[in-house]
Amino acid sequence: MNAQPPKSRSNSSELMRYAGLGAQFFVTIGLMVWLGYKADKWLRIPLPLLVWLLPLLSVGLLIYKLVKETSKPK
């Protein structure tokens, strides 16, 4: 019998924490691509400049936030 120990609350809460951060990553990147697309059309920029810049900026800020939140001492 290989009985696995029950999952502790801390493991479950850590999983939900990282799942929330991942969801935030995807939603933010998608929103920035959409905003960049709309801004490029509104400003009539011939190349997709803001479609590239806004998501790249948001990825940099999200990585900073990820490192800041995950390196907190417990």
The whole-angstrom separation of Cα 70 and Cα 62 is: 12
In a domain? residue 7 = no
DSSP-derived letter for residue 8 is P
Asked if residue 13 belongs to a domain, the reply is no
Domain assignment of residue 33, yes or no: yes
Region 39-67: mean pLDDT is 93
Show the domain range for 48. Answer: 20-69
Q: What is the pTM of this model?
A: 0.72
pLDDT band at 1 (very low <50, low <70, confident <90, very high): low
With tokens 């803001």, the residue in question is 50
Q: Is 6 helix (H, G, I), strand (E, B) or coil?
A: coil
| Domains held by the chain: number | 1
Q: Within a domain: residue 15?
A: no
Q: Residue 4's pLDDT is what?
A: 62
Neighbours of 58 (CB within 10 A): 19
- How far does the chain reach from its first CA to its final CA, in angstroms? 34
Provide the pLDDT for residue 2. 63
Separation between Cα atoms, residue 20 and residue 27, nearest integer Å: 10
